[in-house]
Structure 1
């Protein structure tokens, strides 16, 4: 459980996932913010109006999936790195998982990395498809990973090979 070991329970993850029908329509953000803390920059930076207005500053973000176009603007504004974008329509066998990343080294496009789940365990390989790194992102790089479709809701981080 999150407060004891830092690992989110499956039922908590299930409560923030978009429905299968929405996943099949293209990129969509998922806010895996599981603690009530005073934070709301995702809401203020979503130009699509896809993040429900907070009643209180300590509320957790609620994404209105039908309004989300998966642009990822919210990702680089989240200080907790708790928002991800998934795109199940990337190919027949792979999905894209866009991951906020604030470590070095920054991976290269086409590099193969080790895909990591929420518990910090390696779950497979992923290919870096794109690396977004602009000044407006304020040093939060967005790494696009191509992962097997069955891992798109599991992969939430990665490890660059050869880095200890």
Structure 2
């Protein structure tokens, strides 16, 4: 989504560069036509009907260009409004993800603490069972007595030797 927004933004920014150059050209043409019309007002009889028609055509062309320019700007404004809405949506999503991440960290930390406590308890029980306090009477004493075991040394040499 961010890449799409970036691409749209770059396209609109390049349009604004084009708009800037068009606006400069249109401004020059308007200034030139304004000067020409002012001269025609001062001396109305000095210009032929054909010349006046040509000036009218130039004015109409410039008017059409300005209308087209305004339409382009309106389209860009709509695109910028859409981009603004998309960016606002992204901010909301990032904020939600940030909250989720913080909650996840808290939950994971609590789970870690619980596991750590269980591990310590398990180690304590293990040490009590498998490492009794030898040398004290607390280990419970003798738990089992069996028959003596008879072993034969060098049994392979003499069968009667015990």
- Please say which structure displays the higher CA radius of gyration: 2
- Comparing both structures, which one devotes a greater share of its residues to strand? 1
TM range (shorter): under 0.3
Taking structure 1 as the reference length, what is the TM-score of the superposition?
0.18
